[in-house]
Structure 1
């Protein structure tokens, strides 16, 4: 056990989970978090933005470009609400973003006192824009909830998560177990029969084509290898741009995929619903479609 503040418990948990960059706009409700960050400038770089929206969009861009979770920290109420556009976008494109927001004192939440940056039921707003969100209500709870946040980020479909921390919890000290275990990654079981069937279809294909979406953002290397083996064009959707470099000879822009779609005998969609292709470009009886 280590006797530290809630803010320090969160910072040290983030460090143990590999976070090295935080995008932020400090304020009175999260002062003690930044006090703790100041003690660890050799491990975490804080990028101070001019507006909360910038912090959230930077975290999303960081995640999309590195494959690692992007973390941002802002004050509650209007500070958090300024990030909702970016958080909604992160949800839509499947970006791994952790929203870490402050909160008014614990004993004032939900009472409508009119404190600085108080809004009704902030946690419900966070939950409406993320796949998972919780409130840290004690320093002792911080490591477990931060770890669970990362488990959620890496499990299932990537989408943002949220943690809110009342300002008194950031300042409060407690005896904290800083043992942070590797986040549990919960994924569906592989359907080996379906994989075998897909491999057989692709092995016989004469004109295969690959469509990629934002859900394949972390799989660019494997997709490139598959495309080169099949000599199949790679066509990104709007959210799939950047999965494979545009400079690759098999890479095409989205609209250019219409022609190979018409000639394809097997189409594989990776991390994409293939909405445009399936609903607007038309299907024929000979085309086999594989979606992952």
Structure 2
């Protein structure tokens, strides 16, 4: 007999799922019956939150949904934080969980792992959540999930299978081919209106967000066609190469870029929420748009949030960019164009603002000398905060972290593991602080077990340094921020990792060159004794 759980594995495999993150439990073992005979690789994290973060990192580098198998009750409560991070950053994630038998749902009789309503808990962190009440529902519900991933604003989807459904016969079910939906194209009238305004603009500004991550070539061509200085959100880093004359980085919270936004006569924002943690990380409410705002987004509701546009276009970012490029006059890249000169002026002003950050700039320069193709996956820590402003990379999906949006700690290590599993060909560096690393430190064991060779650059300041400074600036006596810090190197070695404290930049580069390919390398950098520039 083929059970529903076995059929589920076959259907996922047929639709391109190659990796599942999960921790088996008595309520999910029947989901595992079909895995050994499939091509799907199973990764066992040490906590369901780690499973969700791994799935998130995997999804960000592959563009495919990260898939998790999660047990009833505590498994679901544990993964909610990771789902919240994925929801905030529009990451496709498929969370498949068990739930008690249909006859036992919502009785509160104290059954194992029982919750009054799992779906209610996931309501705020999913595109939708569904309880499977018959085997025959499964293909249609999966198709709905993949429709979200393929053609809408991608976000987590939760499907729960009652225990009696997981084991129900599915011999009569046939594996269906995947129907891939097209993403929405822009309406003709507002697109032509937008193109006309942009063609006449004297001081245009282009704002690109994570929704543009699949449109690298189009983004570069559009910036050039508009001759528009271009700011990128954190999740859009790399869309314009570092040498692009119109790039002004990810510095929308700083005065030079804010002045540019005020003086722009037309601002085109594509695939960006225009949200606080990309445009107002100083939290003073002073990012303002002076001219007309044109917004393009796949989510119609997002078009009306934060900043109201004069023209709103619901469309996939890449499709809309291609359509706009057909309506705009072609232009060659020119370092002396008006837009390039405006961008160069802003970059010069920013360089002065970052004069005191030379040690961070040197740190990243030294890393990229050894690992020029590295992907950086970060937590909330000083190297991430500084890198958000300083680091520019050639290519998207190479810089992402949890310092924006939902802003959870503990993300950087498991997400880096997922990223490396999604793309083993590229070096992955996890940027972690000593506080954040302690949230998910046990996932080092998962990486060793899965033979994942990542580098964890551990910035150690013996506590929650940024929060401590925040308290001190507000005349609050620091409390709860000077935490006990363990010997990370000893712990990492106990997990089977390579681990060493970097003495200087030369030593750091030596460690990076010799990083093992089959297990993590933890490189500790002490904030109290930073490297000399």
TM-score, length of structure 1 as denominator length: 0.87
Return the match for 1:182 from 167, 178, 184.
Answer: 178
**Alignment map for 1:202-213 (pairs within 5 Å):** 202-213=198-209
1:104 to 1:133, Cα distance in 2 relative to 1, 3 A: same
Deviation digits for residues 199-258 of structure 1 (CA, Å, limit 9, x no counterpart): 1222223332211223333333322221233332321234x3436256352431233532
Counterpart for residue 253 of structure 1: 250
Partners of 2:28 and 2:71 lie apart in 1 by: 6
Partners of 1:51 and 1:248 lie apart in 2 by: 41
Counterpart for residue 287 of structure 2: 281
Partners of 2:240 and 2:289 lie apart in 1 by: 28
Deviation digits for residues 92-111 of structure 1 (CA, Å, limit 9, x no counterpart): 11111111111122221111
Counterpart for residue 10 of structure 2: 12
8 Å Cα contact 2:206-2:223 kept in structure 1: yes
Partners of 2:119 and 2:292 lie apart in 1 by: 45
Counterpart for residue 465 of structure 2: none
**Cα drift, residue 5 of structure 1:** 0.7
Counterpart for residue 22 of structure 2: 24
Counterpart for residue 128 of structure 1: 124
Partners of 1:211 and 1:76 lie apart in 2 by: 42
Deviation digits for residues 37-56 of structure 1 (CA, Å, limit 9, x no counterpart): 1110xx21212111100111
Counterpart for residue 85 of structure 2: 89
Counterpart for residue 370 of structure 2: none
**Cα drift, residue 84 of structure 1:** 0.7
8 Å Cα contact 1:6-1:138 kept in structure 2: no
* DSSP-derived class of the 2:119 partner: helix
**Cα drift, residue 268 of structure 1:** 0.7
Deviation digits for residues 58-92 of structure 1 (CA, Å, limit 9, x no counterpart): 11222222221111111111111101111112111
Counterpart for residue 107 of structure 2: 111
Q: Which moved more, 1:196-205 or 1:68-77?
A: 196-205
8 Å Cα contact 1:140-1:176 kept in structure 2: no
* DSSP-derived class of the 2:171 partner: strand
Deviation digits for residues 128-174 of structure 1 (CA, Å, limit 9, x no counterpart): 32111111233332222212211122233222111001222222223
* DSSP-derived class of the 1:143 partner: helix
8 Å Cα contact 1:210-1:227 kept in structure 2: yes
Counterpart for residue 239 of structure 2: 244
Number of aligned pairs? 285
**Alignment map for 1:156-167 (pairs within 5 Å):** 156-167=152-163
Counterpart for residue 57 of structure 2: 61
Is structure 2 residue 305 aligned with structure 1 residue 290?
no
**Alignment map for 1:130-149 (pairs within 5 Å):** 130-149=126-145
8 Å Cα contact 2:27-2:71 kept in structure 1: yes
* DSSP-derived class of the 1:28 partner: coil
8 Å Cα contact 1:57-1:86 kept in structure 2: yes
8 Å Cα contact 1:73-1:101 kept in structure 2: yes
User: Relative contact order (C-alpha < 8 Å, sep 6+): which is higher?
Assistant: 1
Is structure 2 residue 52 aligned with structure 1 residue 38?
no
Partners of 1:113 and 1:248 lie apart in 2 by: 64
Partners of 1:206 and 1:267 lie apart in 2 by: 11
* DSSP-derived class of the 1:98 partner: strand
For the aligned residues, what is the CA RMSD?
2.4
Return the match for 1:170 from 166, 186, 206.
Answer: 166
8 Å Cα contact 2:261-2:288 kept in structure 1: no
Task: Name the larger-Rg structure.
Answer: 2
The runs of 5 or more residues in structure 2 that have no matched partner are 297-533
8 Å Cα contact 1:74-1:102 kept in structure 2: yes
Partners of 2:187 and 2:90 lie apart in 1 by: 23
8 Å Cα contact 1:127-1:133 kept in structure 2: yes
TM-score, length of structure 2 as denominator length: 0.50
Partners of 2:94 and 2:241 lie apart in 1 by: 29
